[in-house]
Structure 1
């Protein structure tokens, strides 16, 4: 009937229905607001997806290490030792979204709290759902041992009870500050028994 108004909803997702009796400019303005809201929501969704895909991974990589060989630990010939170690490091990245990267790192090998050898880790990235393996060669030159520590090393070696501690620090590639908390991405410790194996010539070089 004349004078009757009808309300038409254009979408269940529309913020508000459009009044067909609005003047043309009002209807255009309302449609423009609705279109802007849709574009804004779509842009926000895109930004969220990009942020998730580009942000650093929060999943920790899985590290393992093998003591492949060592030499130069004969503490019976003098108060110093010049050891060298061959360490095989394996890194597994469980993330399906991000690579796991490290801006290099450091390795420290110690015995009974005394540093014996030092080494550097390479810069590397592990692809998503993948693993990487590399070799680290820490070494030390004429490391001084106290008489008590030297005797202890010889005694524990003879009893096949000597152990070394390997500490590995990975550096964060996304850190621009010099603070230790930011710079160190992960820290790992491994203990190894110094045992002589008959099938490995490199191990037999440590026989005292």
Structure 2
């Protein structure tokens, strides 16, 4: 005789939830692994990149030295417009610092760049101060001896800010810049 007991043990409900969770998790993984809509819009679009070349400098003696002069830096800022639109810039501030101490200031010239174009901007950064504070001069001398001395160059370009760490070893070289991250 067949049983007339239609007792549900709850297995169907449990299996339904498990299948739903697996499908939802798979959908989430799929969505997070897809490229952003911005990158799908134009695969040739690249961000603006910059680098700085320290062409020359003077005035890095201690302030009390008889030969002390004002710190001055000749820079060449290389700009690569990776965008698929033109880029215009009305000039902006440039700050050269060492170990967090501003040494000189300058300005980038105004310019306009076509799509995917590159340019080099000469910048003279100078200071009204004469020489370096004694402690900073000692630190710079030691770090130059250890080949770890770096200037920090900060500047704005169009709507972006850039920072470059440039070796202060007397060699002329190009240093790549980065966009500083904002900390909340």
Aligned to 2:166: 192
Among 93, 96, 110, the alignment partner of 2:97 is 110
Alignment of 1:43-122 (within 5 A): 60-75=47-62, 78=65, 82-96=70-84, 98-122=85-109
Change (3 A) 1:117 1:124: same
Q: Is the 8 A contact 2:63 2:133 kept in 1?
A: no
Larger Rg: 1
Q: Is the 8 A contact 1:89 1:133 kept in 2?
A: yes
Distance 2:87 2:46 in 1: 9
Aligned to 1:13: none
Please tell me the root mean square deviation across aligned C-alpha atoms, in Å: 2.5
Residue 126 of structure 2 is aligned to residue 127 of structure 1 = no
Q: Is the 8 A contact 1:76 1:154 kept in 2?
A: no
Distance 2:137 2:116 in 1: 45
Normalised TM-score (structure 2): 0.60
Normalised TM-score (structure 1): 0.54
Q: Aligned residues, how many?
A: 127
Aligned to 1:19: none
Aligned to 2:135: 148
Q: Is the 8 A contact 2:61 2:131 kept in 1?
A: no
Structure 1: which 5+ runs fail to align?
1-57, 172-184, 201-208
Q: Is the 8 A contact 1:75 1:153 kept in 2?
A: no
